[in-house]
Amino acid sequence: MEGLLLADKPRGWTSHDVVAALRRRFPKGTKVGHCGTLDPMATGLLILLVGRATSRAQALMGLPKVYCGRFRLGIETETGDLDGRILREAPIPPSVCALDLRQTFEKHLGEVELPIPKYSAVKFQGRPLYSYARRGVEVPERMRSSRIESFDLLSWAPPEASFRLRCSSGTYVRSIAASIGRHLGCGAALSALRREAAGPFRVERARSAEELARLDSSALEALLAPAEVPCP
């Protein structure tokens, strides 16, 4: 039993929660993994690999991603999204308008270097960064290079802006939101995020994680697709 499943992760579930729920539905000892972590507050496409297909995880993780979401201006949080403790609130400059946001978005196109959030699964000395952050232990700030292919403003209804973003794998959208907030002088944090696509795989083809978790192994096996790595 091996192959690929597309899941639509709900808000509040971790990526590990989805994997654990599916693993319980397969015969004991079946490997199940995912390609690219989504934060608990995020929803959308999660590529799942089953059996020997898990060996292709690294190649599939490198696929470019498409996200849509919202960020709220005038607030900074510990985690970079509204699930985190508020660190600072500031008034939004009255001059900020849709044009200012579009121009700020344009400054983030191409190759960008942004800090990795303290609350992330990236490891430092063998432990994920979030384990240090939860204990209040400071670690050296680490940067990550990303490529932003497109960054479009969908709507501006103060204090929130909706956007669609096409970016390279490994991009932290929370870091982009925080950078937008710094450029505008008032801070910003993600209020919603949804992964719409990873390479050619789209969330419209995915089954909800709750539905997948209710199916038995035979029904799940019937849904498995070949875990082929798309040509660039």
Q: Which of 64, 79, 71, 102 is nearest to 196 (CA)?
A: 64
The residue from 17, 39, 100, 216 that is catalytic is: 39
Alpha carbon distance 69, 47 (integer Å):
19
Beta strands in the chain (DSSP E): 3-9, 32-34, 43-50, 65-73, 75-77, 86-89, 110-115, 123-124, 127-128, 143-157, 160-167, 188-198, 201-202, 207-208
Q: Which of 76, 1, 22 is nearest to 208 (CA)?
A: 22
User: Which amino acid does the sequence have at 77?
Assistant: T
Helix, strand, coil percentages, rounded to 5, for the chain: 25, 35, 35
Alpha carbon distance 126, 23 (integer Å):
25
Token look-up 């510990």 returns 78
216 counts as catalytic:
no
Active centre residues (catalytic): 39
